[in-house]
Amino acid sequence: MPGMPRDNQALRQEIIDACLKMNALGINQGSAGNISVRVDGGLLITPSGMPYDIQIPDDIVFMAADGSVPSGQKNPSSEWRFHLDILNARSDAGAVVHTHAMFATTLACLHREIPAFHYMVAVAGGDSIRCAPYATFGTQALSDHSLKALEDRRACLLANHGMIALGVSLPKALALAVEVETLAAQYWRALQAGEPVLLPDDEMQRVLEKFQTYGTQPDEGS
């Protein structure tokens, strides 16, 4: 079966490296976060509660698209439900990164979304980064709330919990998670001085249109 242990070894190591990197970047602490990547027949996901620095590629868990886990593997992350549901529902997502980043989680504990205080909020796909309602970790209710908050978005906060970022690839998802945490830190700091001035809807629409081609380069030789 595709994705089983000893398959996708390079991708499995990339997942471990990304976990170590998100901690080194300060957007996660310990083994609180988790990562998944789409593969043929399902997804690869980090194991439950296992320190990143002792993981080896075969510790990364293959989960089939129906949620089944072939025997002989570690237990998957306790948050496997929203990873599975997101990748099944979002054809534009190739990877999901979940972290307990400090500032994103601070806002999430206040049940505050990140509004259009800065044009870079549009990097997540809309004029805000929503905060999903609270539900116990690892539950279907949390997955359902996450999917709703991610409609037309590539990132969201999770009330009293953390954040989720999606990307077409793992590097893209991790980069977005870093950007969301940066925005959360900026917004939190602005709130200390007062209520930030928000950009109007028409300006955010212009930014969203510009972001459709942001970062693209002409083909080689053109």
Vertex 217 angle, CA 214 and 221, to 5°: 165
Please spell the DSSP secondary structure of 174-191, one letter per residue. HHHHHHHHHHHHHHHHHH
CATH number of 9-211: 3.40.225.10
Q: Which of 14, 79, 113, 151 is catalytic?
A: 79
Q: 8, 39 in Cβ contact below 8 A?
A: yes
Tell me which of 101 and 4 has the higher pLDDT: 101
pLDDT in tens, 112-155: 999 999 999 999 999 999 999 999 999 999 999 999 999 999 99
Neighbouring residues of 66: CB distance < 8 A, sequence distance ≥ 6: 42
Task: Give 26-54 pLDDT, tens digit per residue.
Answer: 999 999 999 999 999 999 999 999 999 99
The answer, as to whether pTM is greater than 0.75, is yes
- Residue percentage of the chain with pLDDT more than 70: 94
Q: Is 79 a catalytic residue?
A: yes
DSSP lists the bridge partners of residue 164 as 98, 156
